[in-house]
Structure 1
């Protein structure tokens, strides 16, 4: 190999190394463990997250909790008050709208996929009509974030471990590169 080619390869390797270091300081990769974020993300889903991003309602965030990192959806932002009617949140007096869009069978039970709209955010969650949540306490977010799983009746979230402080947030999901293992979902057909 000539001296010029060797220098070219060294320069290319230096650029790749610098890009990898920059990526690691600004972003990261994570895998989803479990079914907590169905219907969108199943076990083994892969995401790219940004370490320094503005957090908005509806965003998926990763945060430190109990010695690990957890992925959940932001429902309440700092300074908001939340109340609940079963799994349906109300934020500062604005109740989420729920529209059934599909059916899914999980854990041997028939459930609905529901499109949730709340204060500008739109996402899908799973509702088990036979397992209704009751007694969810009201919450004030203070300076933190109120997060919920998309498989609401089965997965822990801020209802169990409280508001997430900003310094516990690892990052905001920017890109999903794999949806993981998900069950078949049947759209609800409506008469014309």
Structure 2
């Protein structure tokens, strides 16, 4: 016959498993509904985001799609509580099986064109001002650790809604023409570009193209951790020299 004391002992033995299950469920809810961490693996969004940045993306900013769920489980289609992104938002979206991060330049119905390196929105050039060169790790092509810093022309763009951000202009490569045809953004889609204009696979290229609203995961909000590209975040012993302290807790704009 099972006594009350035996039941209590059995309940206490189960407590660690209960705690773990509760923690996992809370983490799933937070990751699915509130914030999800991402890291930056490439230089397509430099100088805004650097290789080695770790950031939080808000899942609620544009509502929820299947890509809000762990493993992109197809429990529903479309978006729930949908909110359209604004020009200038830095957005994470699903492309095939990979998550991309780019900036929203064109909304549905917009016409986008690049002429001599300048971006035109609905027939008018986006305001563009030359600022001091970017100095640091080569943002145009992969460079070996310890390579000397480079200087790259840098411009500040300001969209019609007042959002400003810095862009880079590397030496033109054949894959990144300085002038393009006109892109007309279809309904329910967005035109995305990387801030590192000569090193970004984005909506200018057919492989990416116009990004469907349903493919958006969330908006980049804050950099919570950042290490130099030659280091790994888990290498705690290198943190004093590897952490880019000035980037911690900076807002993504």
TM-score category, normalised to shorter length: 0.7 to 0.9
Match of 2:32 in 1: 25
Select the structure of larger CA radius of gyration: 2
Q: 1:43 to 1:104 in 2, by over 3 A?
A: same
Structure 2-normalised TM-score?
Answer: 0.60
Map of 1:190 onto structure 2: none
Change (3 A) 1:131 1:180: farther
1 CA distance for matches of 2:220 and 2:117?
A: 23
Q: How far 1:82 moved relative to its partner?
A: 1.1
**What is the distance in 2 between the residues matched to 1:138 and 1:109?**
33
- For residues 119 and 15 of structure 1, the distance between their equivalents in structure 2, rounded to whole angstroms, comes to 46
Number of corresponding residues: 175
Change in 2 beyond 3 A, CA 1:61/1:95: same
Where in structure 2 are the equivalents of 1:12-51 lying within 5 Å? 19-26=26-33, 27-51=35-59
In structure 2, the residue matched to 1:134 is: 178
Residue 189 (structure 1) aligns with: none
CA displacement at 1:67 relative to structure 2? 2.0
User: Between Structure 1 and Structure 2, which shows a larger proportion of strand residues?
Assistant: 1
Deviation at 1:87, TM superposition (A): 3.0
Do structure 1's residue 102 and structure 2's residue 146 form an aligned pair? no
Superposed CA offset, 1:29-64 (max 9, x none): 100111111112111211111223141111111111
Deviations 1:89-132 (A, max 9, x none): 1112331111122213535764212111111221111113x427
Report the Cα distance in structure 1 between the residues aligned to 2:119 and 2:228, rounded to whole angstroms: 27
* Shift in alpha-carbon separation, 1:180–1:131, aligned structure 2, 3 A: farther
- In structure 1, runs of 5+ residues without a counterpart are 183-192
Give the structure, 1 or 2, with the largest relative contact order (CA under 8 Å, sep 6 or more): 1
Aligned partners of 1:35 and 1:151 also within 8 Å:
yes
CA contact (8 A) 2:113 2:179 kept: no
Q: Does 1:123 align with 2:165?
A: yes
C-alpha displacement at 1:71, in angstroms? Answer: 0.6
CA distance in 1, matches of 2:215, 2:128: 30
**8 Å contact kept, 2:189–2:212:** yes
Distance 1:148 1:84 in 2: 11
The answer on whether the counterparts of 1:84 and 1:90 sit within 8 Å (CA) in structure 2 is yes
Q: Residue 113 of structure 2 aligns to a residue in which SS?
A: strand
Distance between the aligned counterparts of 2:37 and 2:130, measured in 1? 32
SS in 2 for 1:155: coil
Give the equivalent residue in structure 1 for 2:119: 89
